[in-house]
Amino acid sequence: MTLIEWRNEFSLGIPSVDHEHRELIELINTTHARLRAGAQHAEVEDFLGEIFARISAHFALEERTMLLLGYLEYWGHKADHERLLDQLRDIMEDFETSDALDVDALSTRLDDWFTIHFRTFDARLHQRVH
Ligand SMILES: [Fe+2]
Ligand SMILES: [Fe+2]
């Protein structure tokens, strides 16, 4: 089962950004499927690490673009990015200490967050950029 289905409303009409967003969704879906299939502790750590790294890199790129533009909504947009990164850090820390990972909770969080963020903050940013 695919966790996040790409929907037309996610498309911002900028090929490079849409491409990155599609790649993030694909990574989340692949990770979700592997976690669901049962993975060893070290593998789960790798998956979480990769998700965190790729998402952070995408956010950093958007934040650099906003700074260069003197974009007014920079702080609000960045705060929403930080909110997800903080949640992911908490999930990773919990996993380190308890070895327990609630796959469904993680998936739902990512799904909800991206679906809303694409349609709001990212849509407004990319309307401004192009
Ligand atoms: Fe984005
Ligand atoms: Fe964003």
Ligand (nearest to CA of 76):
2
What is the CA(121)–ligand 2 centre distance, in A? Answer: 6
Give the pLDDT confidence of 89-108 residue by residue, as tens digits.
999 999 999 888 888 888 88
Residues bordering ligand 2, an ion, CB closer than 5 Å: 62, 121-122
Write out the residues surrounding ion ligand 1, Cβ under 5 A: 122
Predicted confidence (pLDDT) at residue 127 exceeds the cutoff of 90: no
Strand, coil or helix: 73: coil
DSSP state, 10? G
Between CA 126 and CA 130 the distance in angstroms is 6
pTM: 0.87
Which of 106, 80, 104 is CA-nearest to residue 92?
106
